[in-house]
């Protein structure tokens, strides 16, 4: 690549015919100034491009990291949902089993209470019958004693 120094140090052979040396020097001075500006601008742009390429690499790396993080987060979210679903199902199953056991225990207790009620009613009827029988016997004894008492009173009144 041609540099401003190359242009500045170039020497032309002298010819008898040709352009005016002062005009060529003046033009070359202008070309040198413009070329130097372009050369510096080009160097700045090259530096900017290099910096931007580095930044682009950094952001592409960052983008890859973010993509990986998103994929990992999505996987973790799916796994969490799956685990939560499994856990919820286990809780529901355990609750249903516990409810079933409670119902079975309640039904067993109900059956036992019904059996006790039947048993208690039978005992009540037996005791009631026994008491009725005892009372009827006592009434008969009293009636018999009353008849004896009346007979003995009548006999005592006759003796007097």
CA-based torsion, 75, 78, 84, 88: positive or negative = negative
> What tokens were used for 26?
């003046």
* pLDDT tens by residue, 8-57: 787 777 777 777 778 888 888 888 888 889 989 999 999 999 999 999 99
DSSP per position, 115-142: HHHHHHHHHHHHHHHHHHHHHHHHHHHH
> What tokens were used for 141?
């004894």
Whole-structure pTM over 0.75, yes or no? no
Q: Which domain holds residue 112?
A: 4-159
Domain count, the chain: 1
Beta strands in 18-134 (DSSP E): none
Q: What percent of the chain has pLDDT over 70?
A: 99
Query: What's the Cα-to-Cα distance from 124 to each of 26, 72, 113, 131, rounded to whole Å?
Result: 141, 76, 16, 10
* pLDDT for res 123: 96
* pLDDT for res 153: 73
The angle subtended at Cα 53 by Cα 52 and Cα 57, nearest 5°, is 115
């Amino acid at each position: 690549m041609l540099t401003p120094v190359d242009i500045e140090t170039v020497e032309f052979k002298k010819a008898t015919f040709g352009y005016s040396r002062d005009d060529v020097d003046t033009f070359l001075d202008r070309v040198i100034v413009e070329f130097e500006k372009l050369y510096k601008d080009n160097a700045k742009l090259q530096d900017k491009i290099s910096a931007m390429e580095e930044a682009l690499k950094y952001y592409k790396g960052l983008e890859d990291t973010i993509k990986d993080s998103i994929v990992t987060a999505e996987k973790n979210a799916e796994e969490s949902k799956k685990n939560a679903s499994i856990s919820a199902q286990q809780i529901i199953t355990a609750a249903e089993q516990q409810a079933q056991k409670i119902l079975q225990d309640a039904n067993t207790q109900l059956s036992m209470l019904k059996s006790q009620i039947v048993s208690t009613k039978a005992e009540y009827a037996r005791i009631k019958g026994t008491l009725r029988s005892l009372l009827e016997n006592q009434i008969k004894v009293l009636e018999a004693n009353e008849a004896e008492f009346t007979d003995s009173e009548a006999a005592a009144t006759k003796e007097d």
